Amino acid sequence: MLHRKPASKLRAFALALGMFGLLATASPDLDASDTPVGVWKTIDDDSGEAKSLVKIYERDGKLYGRITKLFKNPDAVCEACEGEDKDAPIVGMVIMWGLEEDDDEWSGGKIFDPKKGKTYNCKIWLEDDGDLKVRGYAGPFYRTQTWHRVE
């Protein structure tokens, strides 16, 4: 029969806690609030109602955004689009591409407005409250929207 001293149990407990602490600190900090990658709810500029969900993802160091859901008209097609996108479903459409991280914002990419069929320069940044600011611009003219994180 093995007899353990109370001190050895305490050492084993301390060792286990230490190992748990090392594992917890060794894992990388993957706080989703530090990056725009995720799913965002967009708001209609006119009505103030939820318009769509956009999934922002990273590929080859650049950010892209794809519409994954439309709230009002889920089967809408891009009537204002030209070429092969004419009358294509809006759900599944990549509307943001080529954004590169630059300090505390992502810029140098484009954003597409399926309602108008127009492409604009784009930059995005995270606000302290966790919301995402999305700016489309052409020259000195711009429009900025606030998107809200869903996941």
User: Is residue 92 within 8 Å of residue 76, measured between CB atoms?
Assistant: no
Lowest-pLDDT range, 26-35, 97-106, 127-136? 26-35
CA distances from 38 to 54, 79, 84, 113, 144 (A): 8, 28, 28, 20, 19
Would you say domain 36-149 falls under CATH 3.40.630.30?
no
Q: Kindly tell me if the per-residue pLDDT of 1 is higher than 70.
A: no
Global pTM reads 0.77
| pLDDT tens figures, 52-98 | 999 999 999 999 999 999 999 999 999 999 999 999 999 999 999 99
Sorted by where each begins, the domain ranges of the chain are: 36-149
What the block records as the tokens of 72 is 């009002």
